[in-house]
A and B are shown apart, each in its own frame.
Chain A
Amino acid sequence: MLSYIVRRLGGALVVLFGISVVTFILAYAVPSDPARMIAGPKASMATVLAIRHQLGLDRPLYVQYGAYIWRLLHLNLGMSYVYNLPVTTLIGQRFLPTATLALSAWIAELVIGIPLGIYTARRARKLSDYIVSILALIGISLLIPWLGIVLLYWLGFKIPIFPLGGAGGISHLILPALTYGITGAAAYTRLLKSSMLEVLKQDYVRTARAKGATESRVINRHVLRNALIPVITYGGIDIGYLLGGVVLLEVTFNWNGLGILAYNAISESDIPVIMGTVLLTALLVVLFNLLVDIVYVFVDPRIRYG
């Protein structure tokens, strides 16, 4: 197990190296001049050239990449052109707010999606299954900004139960989490439903019924655990991705997190920040994939890593 984790972490390094190459090349392929952005539109060409030289942007690409990797190895993601602060500081400031938001959004998805998945699997092909499935389809089709604003209007403005955006206590988390939960739950519902329908056909479910187990015991003890693997896979990727920043949610609810940071960086060609946030998202996705593979072992005893 331990040697497996070490090997997987080694593999993760290779993936991250690949991602650093791709983002580096993409960032420099963008037809905008960071030096000009920093100097401003009225600055003279001499100033622009000086800044370009100062940032090392006049050196060959591979030298720039080498310098970038060298800094990366020292956990230095460079300086933001716009804020004139280290990228690590910027990410550090925003990681906790984003993590709080991402985690509550994720929990809302699970709390809505998983019970509905169980319910529709048990009621498959009955009227209530169709009704829930249609509602889930509507949920998945709603735009986050639209639903977020509707919820803000009704539950923040008309009936002022919740604050109108911004960060703060738990009350600030409810509406964004609900918004994301409603739009994201359907994926879990459908995944769990189809997986459970597959497990319900298995012989060992018949064995459980033949023992005289109640239907809810059959579902909770015999079906659910066997049906969870695809849900865990998706859930791991989902939370890894969410932690990298939930742009739509952060913009809608005025939440100063990684998503807004990345969004602004893209519109301002703040290349070090773009690369930093992309790399962070990649790292999180890779780490959560590894975590998912480790969780499998506890869910299904047949899975063993040597």
Chain B
Amino acid sequence: MSNVLEVKDLEIQFEIDEKYYSAVKDVSFYIREGETLGLVGESGCGKSVTSLSIMRLLQDTAKVSGAILYNGENLLELGPAKMRGIRGNEISMIFQEPMTSLNPVHRIGRQIGESLMLHKGLSASEARLEAIELLRKVGIPRPDEVVDDYPHQFSGGMRQRVMIAIAMACQPKLLIADEPTTALDVTIQAQILDLMRKLAAENNMAILLITHDLGVVAEMCDRVAVMYAGKIMEQGPVREVFRNPQNPYTIGLMNSIPKLEGPRMRLQPIEGNVPSVRNMPQGCRFAARCPYVMDICREQDPGLLGAGPEHISRCWLQADREVQTQ
């Protein structure tokens, strides 16, 4: 299967006090057709910025370098008109905040139909009919009535369904979902995830799912990339990474989740704090918090090293293991 999206050596810099600092660096990943890739990490690790950079929706002051290949075409080099032709048409996005992501002064049907009118040349009345159909697909009752309602008449879960309907309107090849369930109740979360999975399977649509919830990753994703302080620490198939985590940061993340089975134990948080963008360590970015830290970790970044089929980890320990297996 070919890759829908391939991100290569992505670096994103922001200006703070007239100096540029990298919020994201050396980020590379790919997503195959119809596949779901999870991008996990703590708040502020660069997940959302990465996703916005794919859509080229970051503010003008952000400097983005590297390559973002969509069907082999570098999105970073596209002109504004061509990029608009891709947004909402080939690549769609849903956001964390369903309560504020819909325009309060336009009817739901208009907001769903807008991308159909923009990209598929539908008339307003055709788009309205299509919007009713989309509302039915995302499981909203009485779609022919609510199509003329306004967002404030909807609950958070319903609004996120509407956002999904907007994103699905043009049957995109790739959906970027930036923490789509974080703001929702747990029961609603499961419904929304089910819906996304069902629609993705029906349309052979790939998903880039950004989350800080490892449970969501386990349920939804084929592969996962773990990010820390703007870099990918570990990447691989979900089963492989969860059963056999290689990177101390991934292990730390897993240990900090409460378990329902087995003897009760205290949670093990990762000690310390995420380094600030202005003051990134020279070597491994996790070194200051890593329980296995060695001298070399503080001096040099190890780079991503192979840990199994499609499984890579950014850790000096991996280098030792690689030597052993050879």
Contacts and interface: CB of A to CB of B under 8 A. Distances in A.
B85 interface: yes
Contacts of B97: 203
B11 interface: no
B93 to A, nearest CB: 5
Contacts, number: 68
A226 B105 contact: yes
A299 interface: yes
B174 to A, nearest CB: 12
B105 A299 contact: yes
B102 interface: yes
Nearest to A210: B93
B166 interface: yes
B163 interface: yes
Interface stretch (A138-146, A173-181, A211-219, A245-253): A211-219
Contact of A204 (B55, B93, B101): B101
B92 A210 contact: yes
Contact of A206 (B95, B104, B105): B95
A203 B93 CA distance: 12
Is the contact region of chain A dominated by helix, strand, or loop, or is it mixed? helix
Interface residues of B, number: 28
B104 A212 contact: no
B57 A211 contact: no
B88 interface: yes
Interface residues of A, number: 21
B84 A212 contact: yes
A202 B100 CA distance: 7
Contacts of A225: 105
Interface of B: 55, 57, 84-89, 92-93, 95, 97, 100-106, 111, 114-115, 118-119, 150, 152, 163, 166
Given A207-B102, A214-B84, 9 more contacts: A204-B101, A204-B103, A206-B57, A210-B88, A211-B114, A212-B87, A212-B119, A301-B104, A302-B104
23 contacts: A202-B100, A204-B100, A204-B103, A207-B101, A207-B166, A208-B114, A210-B88, A211-B87, A211-B114, A211-B115, A212-B84, A212-B89, A212-B115, A212-B119, A213-B84, A213-B88, A213-B118, A222-B106, A225-B105, A300-B104, A300-B105, A301-B105, A302-B152
